[in-house]
Every structure is written in structure tokens, then in C-alpha cells.
Amino acid sequence: MRALRNGLLCLAAAATLTLAALDGASAQKLPGRGAAPNIGVGRPMAPTGLAPTGLRGGWGAAVPGLIMAIPQTGALRGGQIIDNAPQDRRRPPQRTTRRGPSGAPPANERRLVPDEVLIEVANSVSPQTIDVLQRRHRLARIEFRTFQLSGSTMLRWRIPDRRSVATVVRALEADGVVASAQPNYLFALQQSEGKAAAANLAGDTAAREGDPAQYELAKLRLPQAHGLAKGDNVLVAVIDSGVDVSHSELAGAIALTFDAFDKPMTPHKHGTAIAGLIAAHGKLMGAAPGARILAIRAFDPDGASAQGTTFSVLKGLDWAAANGARVINMSFAGPADPALHRSLETAHKQGIVLVAAAGNAGPKSPPLYPAADPNVIAVTATDADDNLFPQANRGRHIAVAAPGAQILVAIPDGGYELSSGTSYSAAEVSGIAALMLGRNPGLTPAQVRGILLATAKDLGPKGHDSMFGAGLADAYGAIMAQAAPVAAVSPRPVERVSTGTR
């Protein structure tokens, strides 16, 4: 018996020594301590005069040691990360809690940057862990940003080899450090080519507003509405291409600007037109001439058009929310985007009214986003005879309609043109929302939506339909409404927005 007991004790001692040796060998393979490497240049944004916040020991725009410059426009132009905090070598990387449907794109999805991927991590993940993540997945860093709306950090990285975006996304989703991964989707502005036009102020200007060509004013009953409210000082964010802030139609209307790109900003037709349809007050009359515009350049010109990405749009949304936007206009369209959906959902909960163009892809197109997101008011376009704009998208997610065919708009260098698209309809409804909030600042996004639908002029088939939604928006009727009826619309389920798979 004594011999057996001694043998068991010897075996236990040997096992202990073996485990200790293995533990030491494993520790030698972990990355060493020291200053964190430069993990890339980001362009985080906070309201002017406010310092960024973050978790101690975290990384991104809010860590101690981050060097930032704040230009007059309010945009942060870059940063360098220095993190000398000690790390516990034995603690495994933090596993985030957000796990759901895969963010990999559908097999036939082409509306994405073909060699980029977006990765979301918790703010508390260290630079050293991010460095290991990058090497493990063989990616190249482009930029990063800590987002207030999501409460996380987003990394934009390049795929330097020929692996597909879907392959890389799925590999990242299996990594315990990664909260989510997805493509950097592409979005397009929703307008048709315009024709040059001259504003004409002949006649009795005291008896009317704007230019005679602005038929949308009468259709939306905006002159009557302006007798009660003009949206004074309501902040409306325009996430779009570059706005010509020097245009006479926008004199005094631009509150702040933000640029999501490093390259110099070029004023663009689309962004200037959208800002003018909301807040013009010169030869033209916007839907909310007293509103203030947060001009956000998230779309970079590519010829006559302009493109934006998930990352640039997320920057714009985050900056708009941080700077007090009450309404956010999104006159662009693209695929379902999980990261965009999460930010829109948070903005909606924070009381921001979200308005988007239904899209110009025609009746056979599937729903486009962000208009089809359940947190967004989707707006389609009509013409001077209340007919549906032929290129407009259809769907049960359409909330209301507004004029969008042959609209007289402001363009850079003091010019004007006639142009068409659901982009312009969305801007008009964003302006009406600003009028409503100027009249009653306590309205919630759900109440704004409910009033718009309840007071709309029914068009097409009786009741809510997939072409006109609840019908033509009525600015005067919406302002006069005293209650917020329940919206009679069934938006698409959230899961259609939050997943990247089909």
C-alpha cells in the first residue's frame, strides 16, 4: 500500500512539472510588451470644443496619448496612437457579444469595394491585439474610427491578395476579437441628369414664394405651412456630396461642415441641390427656409455622379448625431448594410428623424437601403400631375411621396437646373419634418412619421400602397395636426436589414 501511494505522488508531481513547462513555452510565444505600433490614421469627429471620451486602456479616437487637430469646420483630421499600458499576457483576447447572421455579401452582390473589408471591435481591444489580428488575417490597414452611435471601433482594411471579400469576412467572423465584419458597400446618389435653367422672378413676388417653376411648393402646401413655421434653427444633416456653401440660396444656412475624405472638397451638383431644396431662401424657396444645414460630404465625385461607401456614410451619421442633428437626409441608395442598420437604429432611438430616397432603380428593383430600413421614412417621387416618377422603386416600405420630377434646383457657382429623382422628394420631406419639429420640438421620430402618413393626400389605389405609400405629403396638414396617429405602414422586418446573407 505504501508503494502504491508513493507511486501516485510521483505521477502527480511529474504532471505538475509538465504543465508548468508547457505554460512557460506558451507565454514565450505571446507578443511582448512595449509601445503600441502605429495602427493607422483615422479621422474621428467630436463636437467642436469637446474632448473625446473612451475606456482607459482602449484604443481609437478616445485613448490617452491620441494627438488630434480640429480644423475650423469641426472635422478631426487624423491621429496617432501611443499606448504604453502593460498587458496581461495570460488573458485571452476579449470576445465580443454581438454575434448574429453572417455579414458576408450574397454571391451576386457587386455593390461593394472589391478589396476592402470593415471590421468592428470593442473599444477596449488593445492596439497590440489589433496588430496580431491584422497579421493573422493578412490584411493592410487603411483607417479606423471610434463611433459614438455604435459604441465600438470600426477598422477599414485592404485585402492585399486575391481573396474574396466573402472569404475574408467569414474568416474574421470566426475570430474571437471581432464583433462583426462586412464589406465596404457602395451607395449612389439618386438623381437623373439635369438641364440648365434660369430662375425667373417676373411678376408679383410679394404674393408668392420662390420661382414659378417650383410647382412643388403648391403641391406640398408649403406657402401655407410657412405662415406657421419655417423650421427656424432646426439642424438638418445632409449626408451627400460636397455642398457649395457660397451659393446665394444658402446664405447663412450652413451651420457646420464635415468632410469624410482626405482629398480637397469640390462642390457638387447633388449636394448643393439637396441643401437648397431644404433651406433655400433666395430666388428659390426651400421646404424649411429657416433650417440650418449640417453639410456632410460622404460622397466623392466620379464624373457627373458621386459614390459613397459604408465607412464614409457611417462617419457622416456619427458626426451628425454628435452635432445635434434633429433630421438626417439620405438621398442615396444601395444594398442592405448591417453596420448602417445598427447606426440608424441607434440614431432613431436618440430622437433623430431619418429620411431617405426610395431609389431610382425602377419597379422591378428589390428594396434599396437605407430607405427600406424600418427606422427610416422612405420617400418616393411624383410629377406635376401627381403621377409616379417612372424610375422610382416600389415596395411596402414606401412611406410618402413628394414631387421629384423636373425640379428646379440650385447647383454650384450660382447656377440652377431642372433635374429629377427621388433624391429631391426626400429633401422636401426632410424639410417638412424640420417644419414640424420647429413647431413642436417634442415630437418623436415615430410621431413625425405617423403625422406625415395620416395627413398625406391619398394617390393611386385607395389606402397605403407600394407605389405612393400613404400618398402625397402635406406640409400644412402635418403642421396643423395635433396628435400623432399610428402609422399605417408595415416596414420590412429588421432581419432583412441586419443580415448580409440571403
Active-site residue among 241, 331, 419, 423? 423
Nearest to 188 by CA among 241, 143, 238, 142: 241
Query: Which H or E run includes 450?
Result: helix 445-455
Residue 496 C-alpha cell reads as 432583412
490 catalytic, yes or no? Answer: no
Q: What is d(CA 297, CA 261) in angstroms, rounded to the nearest whole number?
A: 8
Residue 256 C-alpha cell reads as 457646420
Residue whose C-alpha cell is 508548468: 20
- What's the half-sphere exposure (Cβ side, CA atoms, 13 Å) at 332? 29
Q: What is d(CA 478, CA 225) in angstroms, rounded to the nearest whole number?
A: 9
Residue 304 C-alpha cell reads as 457627373
What's the chain's Rg over C-alpha atoms?
A: 26
Q: What is d(CA 395, CA 354) in angstroms, rounded to the nearest whole number?
A: 18
Note whether 36 and 83 are within 8 A (CB).
yes
226 catalytic, yes or no? Answer: no
DSSP of 181-226, one letter per residue? EEEEEEEEE--PPPEEE-----S-GGGS-S-TT-HHHHHTTHHHHH
Q: What is d(CA 154, CA 143) in angstroms, rounded to the nearest whole number?
A: 9
Instruction: Please say whether the dihedral angle defined by the alpha carbons of residues 114, 143, 343 and 432, taken in this order, is positive or negative.
Output: negative
Distance between start and end Cα atoms, the chain? 67
Active-site residue among 240, 244, 259, 474? 240
Active-site residue among 137, 226, 247, 270? 270
Pairing relationship of beta strands 180-189 and 332-333 according to DSSP bridges: antiparallel
The residue count of the chain comes to 502
H-state helical runs in 248-337: 269-279, 310-322
Q: What is d(CA 233, CA 195) in angstroms, rounded to the nearest whole number?
A: 32
Note whether 362 and 393 are within 8 A (CB).
yes
Beta strands in 49-161 (DSSP E): 112-122, 140-147, 152-158
Calculate the alpha carbon distances from 486 to 193, 401, 451 in Å: 38, 18, 8
Beta strands in 375-452 (DSSP E): 377-382, 398-403, 407-411, 415-419
240 catalytic, yes or no? Answer: yes
Residue 396 C-alpha cell reads as 411596402
Active site residues: 240, 270, 423
